[in-house]
Amino acid sequence: MGGYEDSPLKNENGAGGERSFLESLSDDSLLNYISQLSQGQTQALPQKQRESQRPRLSQLVEHQEKWGDRDKDHDKDQDKDQDQFEAQAQAQQDEGQDQYQYRDQEYSRDDYFHDKARQQLAQDEVFREKYGGGKGGGIFDGCSIYINGFTRPGRLQLHEMIVLHGGRFVHYMSAKGQVSHIVASNLPLKKRVELRNYKVCRPEWIVDSIKTKRLLPWQNYSLFQAQDQAQRPLPLLLPPVPVEENVVDCKHPHFLEQFFAHSRLHHLSSWKADLRAHFLEKFIENSSNPPPQVAPNQFTVLHIDFDCFFASVAALCTPDVDISVDPVVVCHGTKSSDIASCNYVARQYGIRNGMWVSHAEKLIPADVKLVRLSYNFDQFEVKSKAFYQVLHDLEFQLVLPISIDEAVCCVTRRLSREQCEELCQRVRSMVALKTACSVSVGCSDSLVLARLTLKRAKPDGYQILTQSELDQSFLTGLKPRDLPGVGPSLVDKLETHFQQRPLDLAQLQESSLNSLQRCVGEKLGNKIYLALRGKDDEESAKMLYDPQSVFQRKSLSIDINWGVRFDTIHEIDQFIDRCTQYLTDKLESLNRATSQITLRVMRRCKDEAIEPSKYLGMGRCDPFNRSTRLGVPTSEPGIIATEVKSSFRSLGCPPRDLRGIAIQFKLEDVRKRRTALQQQLKLPLVDASVYENLPQDVKKEVGQELKRRKIGISKAAKAASPAFRASSYEERFMQELPTQIRQEVRNDIRITKKARKTKLGEMQEHILKRQEKAKNYKAHFLGEASIFEPIQFQGETRFKKIIHMVLEWVDGTIPGEGPHEHDLHLFDKYLNRLSDANRLPLMLRLAKLVATRLDLRCEKYGSSNGFQEWEKVLLTVILPKLNKNKHTFQTVRKLDIDFDT
């Protein structure tokens, strides 16, 4: 089984930006190709040749068999489709809204576009012969040119010029490697980024080359240079664009980055994750040595923690601030800004961490000045590093990271009181020496007591107490809140349950296990019961006995609950895309995958002000959760984003009421992954013997490509026949739909298939059942921005009727002048509404049907204005809509249809 190190090939575009031949293949084609190579059926071409000739395996291997009688069958298929349509339409006439109908469409790869491309190549040839373009010796010999968007001169004229002068006119950007030049007059930013590695030039390149009768250097006509110059602001009219430093608009592409850069909580979380990862790394590295086994009750632990870490470090970095005299707080602002950390002088006035600055100001006497310091995240890291270095140098058997400023250190034997004293003092003086900050230390023979003694030791001190020394007097001064795992909510529960406010730990110790469990639940009750006796519960002790499992990452998530203000679902979609990208990048670097995604949406409470008192804060919100199982682990941003967007819609939160978003991935178990799962879940595998048989020169390349795609090489797979197990395209297609839609499609297929075979009665029963279900579903989810709102076109909401209408419209206008502008505008609006509602399958189906229609009429009307107009509509209106959601577009890419225009 090959390892899965970080993929070196990720997005690695070579000069010229061409994808390598292997990269351009779909998984199936790749596997097919490998197996053929292995059997010597396909000639392994040298790199150069492969690049230029670029055999379309998809065509060679899979099309050929079907090609012959495909055209003949086409009309028949179409009729059959229509019949099915009618049958369903009939059966569902009374349902009124059959919006969720999808049909078992064959989205096979031998599609309109391939047929079309073939035909057009042939046409070009005819054209060239007819008008006597140079056979060889043409100006554009060897150039494959693609025209993007509106140009001047127009597409048709350029097409003619290119073909007549020996060039190849590329109609669709299906495999980007096939294109040598792209001609465009203007490109939107997104496109520019996408195509930045291509030779993109203005149409004048073609015109001028023909004029001068030689191929001019394309660089002189580079579109990007021209556009960059055009976009540069005039120096006097516009003020210099400031470097955007503080982006607080969540619609801005760099919002996440900016927000995180300033968020203390984000820093705390990621520091913690880093520390844990680092710990694991070391732990595994050292596991060749005898691993530090902690025997039950035979250890000493020190819980070590900085005194008001942020405040101390920030004060150290600021001259004229004395942490022992001035009341210091660390915060961003002056009013509704959270206090991240305050020193003990400030605490004397009742100021606490988490309090708003405005509140703190009120607590301070008029003659005292509250010192507000800003965060210095870099310095926090520096101090923390020094801190952990000290701990490592002290040669504890275990240094368990709790957070940036806090650690639990373990000695795997019981130390005498004197030894404990010495150790505590040693730690404190060493840290003070290296960081100029004070830490406090709690020391005991259990984790929980170390934690409690630490509380007592603060600030700037240490305390030692063993389980046997624990008595009433120690507990008397402590509150339930001091127990680990007990927060405000549990305190309230306990105080209510025991009718004692405030509640003392000494009192609580007297209550029975049973009583505690009734109050807070089984496990928590037990945990508190044990803690009051100085003992660790099993869950907490795991940290000592099996730190590896405790520190192993089990989930990955992103939470944004500040600055979230959107107006439209598109903006939210974009935001989801960015969040997903952020997470999948991490997934990639962790080399892990997810198969369960949870979306949490924070929605403004009905009675909460639009703008809460905290600047850009979330205010009071209602949370909504939705989780989805993918069935197959993935790290593909496209698949994941589709899923999340779908979940978002199903929660029906109006865009303007959104105040927070969280996306969480449950991670696959690291040990089970890749071996058992791959086989169980039918991920494609390449047989090791097949791989071994590959010619040497290709083997390495193929190996890298397989790794990039996370396709395993299996020694176990059957040596002989099917070299891989790849699911059908239909299945693949389904895999990439949002689960919710997928379920509907599946359901539909099942019903259609069954209805074909079974008796009328059964069919009706099914339909009744489904109607019922659909009704319930609908009742549940009807709301703003729901995906289930009926979408109208020409006063019609039934999709099958709409399809009929559109097809009639297409048919009726092809022989003439094409669609009327007004009609087109209405159609465009309808498509937008579909797109807004994420009704991808409907859009796909519509696109596919129009494409098929054009295909059918091509022979007869191919040269008519109407046909060409419609072709333009397909390429510039319909398909770009599918492209708009790049993530869903993936589905399409896999099918080898390229919807780029």
Annotated binding site for Mg(2+): 305, 405-406
Could you say whether residue 405 binds DNA (CB under 7 A)?
yes
Residue with smaller CB distance to DNA, 30 or 357: 357
- 3-state DSSP helix/strand/coil % of the chain, to nearest 5: 55, 10, 35
Burial degree of 244 (CB within 10 A; 0-12, 13-18, 19+): exposed
What's the closest the beta carbon of residue 257 comes to DNA, in angstroms?
10
Could you say whether residue 268 binds DNA (CB under 7 A)?
yes
Backbone angles phi, psi at 286, to 5 degrees: -85, -5
Q: Which two tokens stand for residue 370?
A: 């509250």
Residue with smaller CB distance to DNA, 565 or 732: 565
Could you say whether residue 552 binds DNA (CB under 7 A)?
yes
Q: How far apart are CA 18 and CA 177, in angstroms?
A: 5
677 and 603 Cβ atoms separated by less than 8 Å? no
Which of these ranges, 182-190, 283-291, 329-337, 769-777, lies near DNA under the rule CB under 7 A? 329-337
Could you say whether residue 554 binds DNA (CB under 7 A)?
yes
Pick the binder of DNA from 176, 181, 626, 770 (CB under 7 A).
Answer: 626
Could you say whether residue 638 binds DNA (CB under 7 A)?
no
What's the closest the beta carbon of residue 545 comes to DNA, in angstroms?
13
Could you say whether residue 438 binds DNA (CB under 7 A)?
no
Pick the binder of DNA from 553, 699, 800, 804 (CB under 7 A).
Answer: 553
Interacting residues with DNA between 650 and 669 (CB under 7 A): 660, 662, 664
Residue with smaller CB distance to DNA, 40 or 477: 477
Q: Could you please report the per-residue DSSP string of 190-248?
A: HHHHHTTTS-EE-THHHHHHHHHTS---GGGGBHHHHHHHHHSPPTTTSPPPPP-----
Could you say whether residue 747 binds DNA (CB under 7 A)?
no
DSSP-derived letter for residue 791 is: -
Q: Amino acid identity of 880?
A: P
Which of these ranges, 108-116, 212-220, 361-369, 396-404, lies near DNA under the rule CB under 7 A? 396-404
How many CB atoms are closer than 10 A to CB 652?
19
Could you say whether residue 581 binds DNA (CB under 7 A)?
no
What's the closest the beta carbon of residue 402 comes to DNA, in angstroms?
5
What's the closest the beta carbon of residue 406 comes to DNA, in angstroms?
5
299 and 411 Cβ atoms separated by less than 8 Å? yes
Could you say whether residue 673 binds DNA (CB under 7 A)?
no
Interacting residues with DNA between 342 and 381 (CB under 7 A): 357
Which of these ranges, 108-116, 414-422, 483-491, 821-829, lies near DNA under the rule CB under 7 A? 483-491
Could you say whether residue 39 binds DNA (CB under 7 A)?
no
Pick the binder of DNA from 11, 416, 473, 489 (CB under 7 A).
Answer: 489
169 and 145 Cβ atoms separated by less than 8 Å? yes
DSSP strand pairing (439-444 vs 462-464): parallel
Per-residue contact string for residues 149-168; x = within reach of DNA by CB under 7 A: --------------------
Q: How far apart are CA 142 and CA 129, in angstroms?
A: 17
Backbone angles phi, psi at 557, to 5 degrees: -150, 165
Pick the binder of DNA from 550, 605, 767, 849 (CB under 7 A).
Answer: 550
| DSSP 3-state of 332 | coil
Q: Amino acid identity of 132?
A: G
Which of these ranges, 105-113, 154-162, 229-237, 254-262, lies near DNA under the rule CB under 7 A? 254-262
Pick the binder of DNA from 302, 355, 447, 483 (CB under 7 A).
Answer: 483
Could you say whether residue 484 binds DNA (CB under 7 A)?
yes
Could you say whether residue 778 binds DNA (CB under 7 A)?
no
Instruction: Give how far the C-alpha of residue 451 lies from the chain's centroid of Cα atoms, to the nearest Å.
Output: 38
Could you say whether residue 275 binds DNA (CB under 7 A)?
no
Q: How far apart are CA 207 and CA 158, in angstroms?
A: 8
| DSSP 3-state of 623 | strand
Q: Which two tokens stand for residue 821?
A: 């502008």
Sign of CA dihedral 556, 561, 566, 568: positive
Residue with smaller CB distance to DNA, 280 or 877: 280
Could you say whether residue 723 binds DNA (CB under 7 A)?
no
Q: How many CA atoms are closer than 13 Å to the CA of 847, on its beta-carbon side?
A: 29
Which of these ranges, 20-28, 145-153, 461-469, 489-497, lies near DNA under the rule CB under 7 A? 489-497
Q: How far apart are CA 555 and CA 801, in angstroms?
A: 46
Could you say whether residue 463 binds DNA (CB under 7 A)?
no
Residue with smaller CB distance to DNA, 32 or 540: 540
172 and 113 Cβ atoms separated by less than 8 Å? yes
What's the closest the beta carbon of residue 621 comes to DNA, in angstroms?
9
DSSP strand pairing (168-170 vs 144-148): parallel
List the one residue out of 726, 634, 731 whose CA is nearest residue 686. 726
Residue with smaller CB distance to DNA, 260 or 498: 260
Q: How many CA atoms are closer than 13 Å to the CA of 4, on its beta-carbon side?
A: 18
Could you say whether residue 182 binds DNA (CB under 7 A)?
no
Could you say whether residue 556 binds DNA (CB under 7 A)?
yes
478 and 509 Cβ atoms separated by less than 8 Å? no
Interacting residues with DNA between 585 and 614 (CB under 7 A): 596, 598, 600, 612, 614
Could you say whether residue 337 binds DNA (CB under 7 A)?
yes
Q: 155-181: b or e for each residue (b if 16 or more CB lie within 10 Å)?
A: beebbbbbbbbbbbbbbbbbbbbbbbb
Residue with smaller CB distance to DNA, 458 or 626: 626
Q: How far apart are CA 836 and CA 843, in angstroms?
A: 11
Could you say whether residue 623 binds DNA (CB under 7 A)?
yes
Please state whether 534 falls in left (phi above 0), alpha (psi between -120 and 50) or beta.
left
Which of these ranges, 325-333, 460-468, 630-638, 740-748, lies near DNA under the rule CB under 7 A? 325-333
Residue with smaller CB distance to DNA, 166 or 617: 617
Pick the binder of DNA from 273, 321, 394, 849 (CB under 7 A).
Answer: 273
Could you say whether residue 248 binds DNA (CB under 7 A)?
yes
Q: How far apart are CA 636 and CA 645, in angstroms?
A: 14
Pick the binder of DNA from 264, 699, 778, 800 (CB under 7 A).
Answer: 264
Q: Which residue has the tokens 């797109």?
A: 835
Could you say whether residue 9 binds DNA (CB under 7 A)?
no
306 and 428 Cβ atoms separated by less than 8 Å? no
Residue with smaller CB distance to DNA, 272 or 893: 272
Could you say whether residue 118 binds DNA (CB under 7 A)?
no
Pick the binder of DNA from 91, 370, 399, 404 (CB under 7 A).
Answer: 404
Residue with smaller CB distance to DNA, 479 or 886: 479
User: Residues in contact with DNA, total (CB under 7 A)?
Assistant: 79
Pick the binder of DNA from 182, 294, 490, 505 (CB under 7 A).
Answer: 490
Residue with smaller CB distance to DNA, 179 or 508: 508
Cα–Cα separations (whole angstroms), residue 472 to 347, 443, 469? 27, 18, 10
How many CB atoms are closer than 10 A to CB 54?
15
What's the closest the beta carbon of residue 353 comes to DNA, in angstroms?
9
Could you tell me which residues are annotated as the binding site? 305, 405-406
Could you say whether residue 558 binds DNA (CB under 7 A)?
yes
Pick the binder of DNA from 522, 585, 731, 817 (CB under 7 A).
Answer: 522
Which of these ranges, 382-390, 466-474, 550-558, 745-753, lies near DNA under the rule CB under 7 A? 550-558
What's the closest the beta carbon of residue 385 comes to DNA, in angstroms?
16
33 and 57 Cβ atoms separated by less than 8 Å? yes
Pick the binder of DNA from 505, 560, 587, 630 (CB under 7 A).
Answer: 560
Q: Amino acid identity of 345?
A: V
